Structure 1
């Protein structure tokens, strides 16, 4: 056991020793600087000034733009035989490296349109023949843009192999991660735009798609080197994209939680336009960068607050894994975006890495997940609604068929029997056909009940019956002012109510010996009901003296089948039939209108 332990210790020591004895890289954090547009390293008499690295032009020389030179000295041991590696964590916008007056690396074009290497680490391996024993001069020529957070980070000189590995890590951190973030944002934008197109142009999905496009544009700047646009135009688009992301993402989050604040959206758009103009002015040298940052803070702060509050609120309500994870990631993402803003303001060192987009990737994926879940749920609900609509249409056809069989079929059958028996009395046969026409109109009117007010259906019945009643000396009085105009009944219910009304009028004509019939709204309907009364001024009847028939029992049967309350009161002053309709049976939407104060 001891032998094995000793062997493990020796193995660990062997693995550790190369790193322990490796020559550490020499970190250079001081240099001399001169603002000159020379193609080769300027002479020592060029007016160099001492600077500390990292050196950010946005704070040290805010109005400067163009070519600047940094000169540093590093020492090579006299007994060293190999070359050295040079690593710069960050350089903006582009640069060239000279060792002892010889150019050893160029990042690309050094004139407009300049190659954009602002987020790329630089590494160069200097061969031994170019080096001198002892002091060596390193000159770095950079091209910087005004107010674009340009400058030079710290420089490391040392073992080429170790610094090459470090450069690969930094390149993956700075460039490849941004490439992945941009790709994820483009996929999310595509999903959002497709959902917007397929979901009836709903603004929620369109805002998400636009926010993701702004995200992709913002982080494309982390790896795109050559652009077809003029420098100022490109910088305005790229640097304002972060703000426009929040401008679109904030109302998206609000709408996602059923909140719509038009004034907030208008404020954000106005600030976005102002901020974009401010960025343009800053790159032209017309406005200081802190002012522009202050404008964008007015967008970023409420946007970040909404992101945190809405994600937390949604997580507490939904209590689903995606919602909780999205809230946790949001609380991590916002501080990292604060850090990036501080890098721009030179509060955090210039060559610090931008890493907020790494946290943004899972945030975008989680929100896209929730959005797709919403679309799938909406599609499922639409399919269920379509199925329910088809079932309702089938049921409606069945109902109409049954109604025609029970009502119109009986009337036509009676007329047919009269004709077959040869007992065709002109007026009687006309009455039979008129009854058929009335029944058909009743069915047609009731079928339209789902799209119109019930008062209109009663009005149609009144228009058909009033001339006939007047012809036999009966007056028809209409007092429906207190009846709710917004009442819409399902077709089956409307048909049964109309048949009860029609039967009540028919009984008054045949048995009451009345002079007038009144159709009016009930004043004493039970709570939660709408009442309708049909009364006459005839002689009335006694319940125990009425011969058995189908009229009154049929009215009670229809009312019971549809959940209605039916009251029949009769005396020497006439007969009143009151139909009380529960508000809950009204068509959805119409019931809401009744509940908001329509008279009963």
Structure 2
């Protein structure tokens, strides 16, 4: 997949844009940061804490661990902007429900003091200062906070000054601390949900771990932009802390799976960390205000991340790939972010983690995973195209082989057909015309045959020859035409014998399956029957009838001769040959005879028999002389 490395100018522009969003920026000359304050408090049990001077930030959970109450901060300032111009207050952190009063006048409120809302502590807020309320000197700003135990209540330094400058600082903070996490959470949900869907269909642990990590991180980010849920603050804190631990464990396993790190001890360490983090570390982070809990828990996380980063670098060097390299860089960036936040909390005491960058740690992984999805999809499409190309080539090759085999088969079939036809003609010539010529020659050599008898034998031979030639022509299964040819060939012979022929042939349906071989068998069968009438029946009339119904065509030869005993002649060669010919065409032969006439009926079915072919070569015999 082609890549387009960004130009240095593009990278510089992106870094500057990022810095403009994430860094607080240089404060304008007219704004003031109010850090000197006095604090008084009334605890939930009724204990009153007298006012005392302090320097903000004030971390309530560290000063009064496990205590809830109402805290009042008083700050004083002189107006340093024109009297007619509006002013503004920027409160980066107040820790729960709040009220803001300027010179005794309520100018802002969030939540209810009797029902503290811990979620409001995560948001910065801006308060407009009416021009008529701000005095030139001696302004008293009173901020009342409903402090909830373990909810990170308290107050950070407040900025006051011209409205436009103060609001610009507020908007940067709101973008960093509220909008940014919201966008990161949406991105995590989308990519995590997509990865989980892929895992659901393919059961690929790689996508399952990534999807779990992204969904867990989106739950962790809810703390920045979702107001209080109907759950205790301690439970909310535990859910957020547990989601952070699940993200760390799942994303670490994901990275190790991508680069195929074989270190079992590292996998076991991650499993042990999760088993320890969920029941121990997460509850401590949620409810403990001890100053060592937060830094030490983050030190453990930084250690794990640095170990995974080392494994990623080792894997990228052992098996270089773009995926391994990108993940190694991403884990390295995450380690730097975690380490920087840990150092900041440890050294500067930023217990509220206001300017933390770790909240965006999922974004680099989201970008890398999106790239991996696109890369793998593109690779899959390319592999599919290559497979289709190979399959197309193999199909074309196989098709060419089949064509060649089919051509060879056709050639062999044509040769076999020609051989069968040649053999049929030879058999017909030998059994039909040949036997009749041999009979004629024997009669001549004996000297006993008269001229008319010899002439009769010669005419029989000619009739057989003509019928054989007629059978070679394609009649298209038209039996009426076959009977017409038979009448044309044998009509003079029948007339010379003194018989009257009656032709009663109806319109017959065509039989496309009736091959030339079957036509010849039918002609020989009828020729045998007519010859028997001429030689043995002593008849005066021969009636040829052809009728059709829904099942078959029936052809009948009927004479008015003396008849014969069908039982006495059942074993004769002539009748046996006619039965064989009837079977060869898939039909049935019936002979009825009595004094006064004989009827021979051939029944030809309209439908072809199963496995019917062009007839069985040599199934019948030549007609008797």
Question: Shift of the alpha carbon at 1:333?
Answer: 3.1
3-state SS in 1 of match to 2:119: coil
3-state SS in 2 of match to 1:221: helix
In structure 1, what is the equivalent of residue 269 of structure 2?
267
* 8 Å contact from structure 1 (residues 35, 68) kept in 2: yes
* 8 Å contact from structure 2 (residues 68, 149) kept in 1: yes
Q: 2:269 & 2:342 partners in 1: Cα distance?
A: 22
Q: 1:169 & 1:304 partners in 2: Cα distance?
A: 31
In structure 2, what is the equivalent of residue 138 of structure 1?
141
In structure 1, what is the equivalent of residue 527 of structure 2?
none
Question: Shift of the alpha carbon at 1:241?
Answer: 1.8
Equivalent of residue 56 in structure 1, options 59, 62, 70? 59
* Residue-by-residue CA offset, 1:102-134 (whole Å, 9 max, x unaligned): 321112244557151233222111213334442
For the structure 1 residues 307 and 242, does the alpha-carbon distance in structure 2 shift closer, same or farther, using more than 3 Å as the test? farther
In structure 2, what is the equivalent of residue 333 of structure 1?
334
Q: 2:393 & 2:163 partners in 1: Cα distance?
A: 76
* Residue-by-residue CA offset, 1:46-79 (whole Å, 9 max, x unaligned): 6112221112234433333343221111123698
Question: Shift of the alpha carbon at 1:369?
Answer: 0.8
* Residue-by-residue CA offset, 1:256-304 (whole Å, 9 max, x unaligned): 0123555534432332243233356437857846346535543442234
Question: Greater shift after overlay, 338-347 or 126-135?
Answer: 338-347
Runs of 4 or more, structure 1, over 6 Å off, are 385-400
Equivalent of residue 121 in structure 1, options 115, 124, 132? 124
In structure 1, what is the equivalent of residue 33 of structure 2?
27
What is the 5 A alignment of 1:84-163?
A: 84-110=87-113, 112=115, 114=117, 116-163=119-166
In structure 2, what is the equivalent of residue 301 of structure 1?
303
* 8 Å contact from structure 1 (residues 190, 209) kept in 2: yes
Number of aligned pairs? 390
In structure 1, what is the equivalent of residue 169 of structure 2?
166
TM-score by length of 1: 0.54
For the structure 1 residues 373 and 236, does the alpha-carbon distance in structure 2 shift closer, same or farther, using more than 3 Å as the test? same
For the structure 1 residues 273 and 149, does the alpha-carbon distance in structure 2 shift closer, same or farther, using more than 3 Å as the test? farther
What is the 5 A alignment of 1:11-410?
A: 24-36=30-42, 47-76=50-79, 80-110=83-113, 112=115, 114=117, 116-198=119-201, 200-259=202-261, 261=263, 263-278=265-280, 281-282=283-284, 288=290, 290-291=292-293, 294-295=296-297, 297-307=299-309, 309-310=311-312, 313-314=315-316, 318=320, 320=322, 327-342=328-343, 347-350=348-351, 352-358=354-360, 360-378=362-380, 381=383
For the structure 1 residues 379 and 202, does the alpha-carbon distance in structure 2 shift closer, same or farther, using more than 3 Å as the test? farther
* Residue-by-residue CA offset, 1:489-541 (whole Å, 9 max, x unaligned): xxxxxxxxxxxxxxxxxxxxxxxxxxxxxxxxxxxxxxxxxxxxxxxxxxxxx
* 8 Å contact from structure 1 (residues 147, 282) kept in 2: no
* 8 Å contact from structure 2 (residues 238, 283) kept in 1: no
In structure 1, what is the equivalent of residue 531 of structure 2?
none
Q: Which 5+ residue runs of structure 2 have no aligned equivalent?
A: 1-25, 406-625
Q: 2:223 & 2:94 partners in 1: Cα distance?
A: 14
TM-score by length of 2: 0.52
Q: 1:388 & 1:124 partners in 2: Cα distance?
A: 69
Question: Shift of the alpha carbon at 1:97?
Answer: 1.2
Q: 2:325 & 2:288 partners in 1: Cα distance?
A: 45
Q: 1:146 & 1:273 partners in 2: Cα distance?
A: 27
* 8 Å contact from structure 2 (residues 312, 327) kept in 1: no
* Residue-by-residue CA offset, 1:144-163 (whole Å, 9 max, x unaligned): 44444442111112112211
For the structure 1 residues 293 and 164, does the alpha-carbon distance in structure 2 shift closer, same or farther, using more than 3 Å as the test? closer
Question: Greater shift after overlay, 284-293 or 331-340?
Answer: 284-293
Question: Greater shift after overlay, 310-319 or 361-370?
Answer: 310-319
Q: 1:229 & 1:394 partners in 2: Cα distance?
A: 68
For the structure 1 residues 262 and 381, does the alpha-carbon distance in structure 2 shift closer, same or farther, using more than 3 Å as the test? farther
3-state SS in 1 of match to 2:216: helix
Q: 1:359 & 1:63 partners in 2: Cα distance?
A: 30
